[in-house]
Amino acid sequence: PISFTNYNTEKQIGEYVDYLGRTYPDRVKVTTIGHSVEGRPIRAVNINKNFTAKPGIIIDAGIHAREWIAPAVALHILRELVENYDENKVLADSIDWTIIPLLNPDGYVYSMNVDRMWRKNRANTTDPLCPGVDLNRNFDLFFGGAGTSLDPCDETFTGSGPFSEPETRALRDYALSKSNTQLYLTLHSYGKYFLYPWGFGDSLPRDWKELDRLARVAEKALSSVYGTHYQVGSSTRLLGAAAGGSDDWMKARAGAKYSYTVELPGGGEKGFDLPPESIPYVSRELWEAVKLLGFFVAEEW
Ligand code: 0X9
Ligand code: ZN
């Protein structure tokens, strides 16, 4: 069974997602949007009452294997929208939601079973000793630019070309199949940031003030729960340039005007080991931000 107070295995996540699809067929549709390098299904959960036209929000998690809190929070969001429907009816029914709780299943499994600090996917590379591509450097916007590496042994190895990886292609193809995506959230850890484009370099999008303002309102909603504060700003300004990220691509190529990377809080010895007791708190406060973003998108449409 699924847990909301502990980290789940890839198998548990898959079974929960499939259960939601079976149980709520009038508003939940689970599709396999691709397969990982090792052949695991990448599942997208579409929550869209009667599957009619609505503004779209895409939320993914688990691009980076070791950032376990991200899929955990994605599952909490899923539960709120689907199983806590009575309380969240208006929100659930006014948006075409897509939650992709585990974009990099191979890496996640590897980080659970073999190397806790694994970040990349598990693709073979030109170096047999160094597998793995950093999926968040593999998108096609300034591919191979600042903050990326051509060395497969590096944590930020960009891959052999844009979208060389089945995991990034799965997100690309799904996002391009939708024409209504207003907002994209990609969940990472750690650092407590709301980051907006561009991440490839110093420039800002024309509408950055709108992205900044909305993120600040969302952050305020988040902080109202337990007083936790996230920093808001452009990726490059707060973390330094890193090209080929999903956030930049979703904004530039998939119509997601509001595109954010959320860096959830860290914990434990190496930062990625947030104790499971924290999962409900981190989830509850982030959910408050997601609600605000959802209502904003629903009203602007
Ligand atoms: O470097 C990353 O991919 C993200 N940070 S993490 O510690 N989770 O690895 C930040 C990505 C910000 N967005 C872009 N640089 N496009
Ligand atoms: Zn990350």
3-state secondary structure 88-112: HHHHHHHCEEEEECCCCHHHHHHHH
> What are the pLDDT digits (tens) for 119-159?
999 999 999 999 999 999 999 999 999 999 999 999 999 99
Q: Is the CB of 120 under 6 A from ligand 1?
A: no
Going by alpha carbons, the residue nearest to atom 13 of ligand 1 is: 199
> What are the pLDDT digits (tens) for 212-264?
999 999 999 999 999 999 999 999 999 999 999 999 999 999 999 999 999 99
Q: How far is the CA of 188 from the centre of ligand 2 (A)?
A: 4
299 is known as an active-site residue: no
Question: Distance from first CA to last CA of the chain, Å, rounded?
Answer: 37
Catalytic residue among 80, 263, 285, 288: 263
> What are the pLDDT digits (tens) for 10-37?
999 999 999 999 999 999 999 999 999 9
Q: Is the CB of 247 under 6 A from ligand 1?
A: yes
pTM over 0.95: yes
pLDDT above 80 for 301:
no
Q: Is the CB of 136 under 6 A from ligand 1?
A: yes
